[in-house]
Structure 1
Amino acid sequence: MNTADLGLPVDVPSTALFTDQYEFTMLQASLRAGTADRRSVFEVFTRRLPEGRRYGVVAGTGRVLDAVENFRFDPGVLGFLRQHAIVDEPTLEWLASYRFTGDIWGYPEGEVYFPGSPILRVEGSFAECVLLETVILSILNHDSAIAAAASRMAAAAGSRPLIEMGARRTHELSAVASARAAYVGGFTSTSDLAAGFRYNIPTVGTSAHAFTLLHDSERDAFQAQVSSLGSATTLLVDTYDVAEAVRTAVEVAGTDLGAVRIDSGDLLLVAHRVRQQLDELGATGTRIVVTSDLDEYAIASLAAAPVDAYGVGTQLVTGSGHPTCSMVYKLVARADSADPKAPLQPVAKKSMGGKTSIGGRKWAARRADADGVAEAEVVGTGPVPPELAGRQLQVELIKGGEVVAREPLDDVRERHIAARGALPMSAVQLSRGEPVIPTEYA
């Protein structure tokens, strides 16, 4: 796996510097203190969901596996750390041979989560685990936020397809990750070719208003596009007068015109008018695609409109108001010595201000009612109750430093559809509310 698969520029040799400096200063200090080799357990979780959200979506796990695999200290990275005196020479020598050799367990990508859910568990020496904190959190916090927004939009859209088209509204590398996360959450395609290339996501796209404005008339623009792409193309009809554009579009492409796109105005009203006009012109099979700063609420408001597909950009790639999930990476257990057989001791932060955590390596299971509908997220540190043994959520992702759980993105997408479908129906309500099921600690 090379760094191009991560959505990184080809000249970036590793993911080792996608981190904060204090990870390295902790490493150096623990090496000096003789505590760096203590077996440790870190967990990723969030104390609360974003305000008003009823469930979260685990996304980015596949990218985390790639990032861990590519966490290497080549001469260029080591040279940077040395030049800027980030760490001392003994630490640089230790980093030169760094390879993560521990184990990672976690919720499978596409699964839903709730406050306290142990989404990811990283086990190994303190030294090798602590270095991964920032890169893991940056991926999971971003991708899970985008996937959660996408999931809400997909639920609002029902069976109508959603097109991800937010590349121009975010950083170029975030755009690729956003398209991937949106696909996990239920979108069907992307306009971003880098995402299509790296993750095999279906790509779509036809023309913008600039193409119409380039030509001497709207008819000329439509003729050029149909000549190039065929009558199944999508013609943008709101550059000038929508009614005139629809009439011209059908005259140019015929009644087999694939679709028209509306990007402005009162979408509910315009969609009804355009559908009536298309039907009167005999283009009964021509679809209507709407764009224009949509979010889940706007999509829901168009449920009764004759709309066939939605294109979403800005609100999607910014998490529809919640661009992060506030996930944290906390040490929950560690050994008292570097002896591999030394027992693990639970540890936890006990500070004020709502930032406490629960110590101990945790398991998680989702209890369901007699109809198979989820009714609680159960998290514990002791033995798993027999009735929950078959409903555990965590799976092995990395064993002894080797990735053991890569999977096709389409499988992840299907998992999310199934996981969301197993939640109570109120999970997909857009009204603000508490998590749709409680988290219980066993």
Structure 2
Amino acid sequence: MTDLDFDIISPEAIRSGRATDAYFERTEAALEHADRNPHVVAEVTADQFPTGEFELLAGVKDAAALLADRAVDVDAIPPGRFFDGGPVMRIEGPYLEFARLETSLLGFLSHASGIATAARRIRAAAPDSPVLSFGARHVHPSIAAIVERSALLAGLDGFSHVAAGDRIDREASGTMPHALLLCFGRGEQEAAWQAFDAAVGDAVQRIALCDTFTDEVDETLRAADALGDALDGVRLDTTSSRRGDFRHIIREVRWELAAAGHDDVDIFVSGGLGVDDLRELRDVADGFGVGSAISNADPVDFALDIVEIDGEPISKRGKLSGVKSVYRTQDGSHHIGHRAGDAPTDGEALLEPLLRDGEVVDDFDLSLSGATERADRDASLVGFGGTDSP
């Protein structure tokens, strides 16, 4: 048996703080040698001041799991809310309680928030269409559940990764790949579609992949004849080198389906689609599978900075000293102020107690369903996802 193993950092290494940058270990050693462990307030921010470019917060559940059972108090913006400058999380306690956790903490928040923000742009591009996340194949399998959870948080309708579904307690979706058709061989597409129909459970939609050997119209009509009333839809995943005018192809397929009496067959499309593609195709396609435009999103560039030590405001150059609060005003704007200062008269405080002395606060909602509802509500309030949105 092979001695090879996967290059995966274990949950134990993450929780213990071993999943850190080396200089935090050296910082710990220096502080312990000097018998120094100040009481600090640290904040996680992307932008110091509002820029008008909102992003969607995700990864808070994993951050809570990382910081739990440590002697710290944590406030955070709940997952599924949009942020624009200022802290999304505040940590208060003895510095050595969480110093070596910074690397993992920022990774949890940065990666998930980047994916969620990209997925929300996709959601906004086709707000009335079913959209599934197909991007797990583009990332390391150890983070597939993060991809799919972030996509659902952003409002997508489903995802493809089976183990991710096990982890987040949701069922994966999907029908057939080109490999199934290829295994049956050229000219045997009907046999492949019929084998699929006979083998899978009744709850699985009969969506036939129709672009493997011949053109999309030909295979679509053959699938409709082979499966009859059992056929729910077809999926077009035409590779870009053979695609031509994809919009025209979809309209042609729909025309010929109608001409053959199959008006009730839906058309789903996938294959390298992005925001602009969904906007262009949303009136002619019934649904979409989107992969790399979601999973390959750039992480949000969060940083963690100490802003107070033993009650005294402090910061490095270029960062704002002192503990801050963030507010959402009724016009959808973001406001940042000193924690001890006056809140805007129409402001809603966004930071909420998450941990107190390492214990998760009961009222803080970490649920996926709650985050999805907040994302829908907040997107409308801040105007995220319109044609001119970043």
TM-score, L = length of structure 2: 0.89
Is 1:222–2:193 an aligned residue pair? yes
Question: Residues 186-201 of structure 1 correspond to what in structure 2 (within 5 A)?
Answer: 186-201=155-170
Equivalent residue, structure 1, for 2:110? 141
Aligned to 1:418: 377
Opposite residue 299 of structure 2, the aligned amino acid is T
1:315 aligns with 2:293: yes
How far does the alpha carbon of each residue in 1:41-81 deviate from its partner, in whole angstroms, 9 at most, with x for none?
110001279xx983100000011112234xxxxxxxxxxxx
Partner amino acid for 2:291? G
**Within the alignment, does 1:262 sit opposite 2:236 as a pair?**
yes
> Given the alignment of the two structures, is residue 205 of structure 1 paired with residue 169 of structure 2, yes or no?
no
Counterpart in the other structure of 2:303: 328
> 1:6-405 to 2 correspondence within 5 Å?
12-15=11-14, 16-36=17-37, 38-47=38-47, 54-69=53-68, 100-115=70-85, 117-216=86-185, 217-229=188-200, 232-241=205-214, 242-264=216-238, 265=243, 266-305=245-284, 307-319=285-297, 323-335=298-310, 344-350=311-317, 356-368=318-330, 373-385=331-343, 387-388=345-346, 391-404=348-361, 405=364
Q: Which runs of 5+ in 2 are unaligned?
A: 1-6
Distance 1:423 1:432, change over 3 A: closer
Alpha-carbon distance between aligned partners in 2 of 1:239 and 1:48, rounded to the nearest angstrom: 51
- Alpha-carbon distance, 1:212 to partner: 0.4
Supply the AA of the counterpart residue of 2:66.
A
| CA deviation profile, 1:77-106 (whole Å, cap 9, x unmatched) | xxxxxxxxxxxxxxxxxxxxxx51111101
8 Å contact from structure 2 (residues 42, 90) kept in 1: yes
Contact 1:255 1:284 in 2 (8 A): no
Aligned to 1:339: none
CA distance in 2 between partners of 1:408 and 1:381 (Å): 27
How far does residue 287 in structure 1 lie from its aligned partner after superposition? 1.4
After the TM superposition, which of the residue ranges 134-143 and 292-301 deviates more from structure 2? 292-301
CA distance in 1, matches of 2:106, 2:93: 18
Q: Give the aligned residue type for 1:359.
A: S
Structure 1 residue identity aligned to 2:19: F
2:67–2:98 Cα contact (<8 Å) kept: no
Distance 1:364 1:53 in 2: 14
C-alpha contact (below 8 Å) 2:115/2:151 kept by paired residues: yes
Sort the Cα spacing of 1:9 and 1:22 in 2 relative to 1 into closer, same or farther, 3 A: closer
**What is the CA deviation profile of residues 239-269 of structure 1, one whole-angstrom value per residue up to 9, with x for unaligned ones?**
0221121111111111341110000123211
Tell me the TM-score normalized by structure 1. 0.79
Query: Which SS does the other structure have where 2:145 is aligned?
Result: helix
Deviation of residue 329 (structure 1)?
A: 0.3
RMSD: 2.3
- Can you list the C-alpha shifts for 1:159-187, whole angstroms capped at 9, x where unaligned? 11211111111111122211111111111
Runs of 4+ residues deviating >4 angstroms:
8-12
| Amino acid in the other structure paired with 2:357 | G
Measure, in 1, the Cα distance between the counterparts of 2:321 and 2:264.
59
Could you tell me whether the CA contact under 8 Å between 1:366 and 1:378 is conserved in 2?
A: no
The offset of 1:385, in angstroms, is 2.8
Cα distance in 1 for partners of 2:350, 2:173 equals: 35
Question: Quick check: 2:307–2:320 contact (8 Å CA) kept in 1?
Answer: yes
Could you tell me how far 1:375 is from its partner in structure 2?
A: 3.2
The code of the aligned residue for 1:219 comes to E
Equivalents in 2 of 1:44, 1:232: separation in Å? 43
**What amino acid is the match of 2:125?**
A
Tell me how far 1:376 sits from its aligned partner.
Answer: 3.8
> In structure 2, what is the Cα distance between the partners aligned to 1:48 and 1:273?
51
**2:48 touches 2:320 (CA, 8 Å); kept in 1?**
no
Shift of 1:388: 4.4
Measure how far apart 1:153 and its partner are: 0.5
Amino acid of the residue matched to residue 279 of structure 2?
A
Displacement, 1:214? 0.9
Quote the Cα distance in structure 1 between the aligned partners of 2:250 and 2:333: 40
The CA deviation at 1:107 is: 0.5
CA contact (8 A) 1:256 1:283 kept: no
**Displacement after TM superposition at 1:418 (Å):** 0.6
Q: Which amino acid aligns with 2:163?
A: A
- Alpha-carbon contact 1:180-1:201 (below 8 Å) kept: no
Q: Deviations over 1:255-304 (max 9, x none)?
A: 34111000012321111111112222222222111101011121112133
In the aligned structure 2, how far is the partner of 1:325 from the partner of 1:112? 12
Are the equivalent residues in 1 in contact too, given 2:175–2:205 (CA < 8 A)?
A: no
Shift of 1:14: 4.1
User: Which secondary structure does the structure 2 equivalent of 1:131 belong to?
Assistant: helix
Count of paired positions: 370
| CA gap 1:386/1:239 in 2 versus in 1, 3 angstroms | closer
Unaligned runs of 5+ residues in structure 1 are 1-7, 70-98, 336-343, 351-355, 434-442
